[in-house]
Amino acid sequence: MAIQIKNQDIPAIRVNVDREKCQLPMVCDYKCYIKCPQGVFHVHSYPNVSGAYMKPDPNKPKHYLVAGSAAPKCIGCMECTKYCPVDAITIEITLPEIKEGENPYKHPFESLKVAMENQEQIEKLDSMYKGLKKI
């Protein structure tokens, strides 16, 4: 299974779950699902093993299947790869192509510029209202 973000101006992030390694019956307590800060993974009951669809129970890992989200949420933090006991998860990050003369940081700096402008506005408002009592 693979999930991929497609945008020319941001890195492409692809999450792969190797079904040869992460297979039924599962042998782990799906830490990839628990530790992922973006909620990329889903844990599904596997009715062929458990006999029914049911809520995930870490005490019965053999009844579940880990799957990636259809939505491209991965930020490439690699938390899932750290906790996978069978090394079934790989993350591929492809950086955008940078043309000669192009600023490779155009978007991050634009974001930083906006953040700094917002911070300046916050500081101005703080100084304007300094000393006022909050109600």
Class of domain 2-94: alpha beta
Residues contacting 87, CB < 8 A, separation 6+: 21, 81
Asked whether residue 13 carries a pLDDT value surpassing 70, the answer given is yes
Q: What is the mean pLDDT of the chain?
A: 70
pTM (predicted TM-score): 0.54
| pLDDT value at residue 91 | 86
Categorize the per-residue pLDDT at 122 as very low, low, confident or very high, splitting at 50, 70 and 90. low
Residue 32 near residue 80 (C-beta atoms within 8 A): yes
Asked whether residue 135 carries a pLDDT value surpassing 80, the answer given is no
Domain boundaries, the chain: 2-94
Closest CA to 84 of 33, 26, 31: 31
pLDDT, greater one: 95 or 60: 95
pLDDT, greater one: 19 or 105: 19
Taking residues 16-40, report their average pLDDT. Answer: 81
Instruction: Express each pLDDT in 70-81 by its tens digit.
Output: 556 788 888 889
DSSP string, the chain: -EEE---TTS-EEEEEE-TTTS-SSP-S--HHHHH-TT--EEEEE-HHHHSS-----TT-GGGEEEEE-SS-------HHHHH-TT--EEEEEEPPP--TT--TTHHHHHHHHHHHHHHHHHHHHHHHTTTPPP-
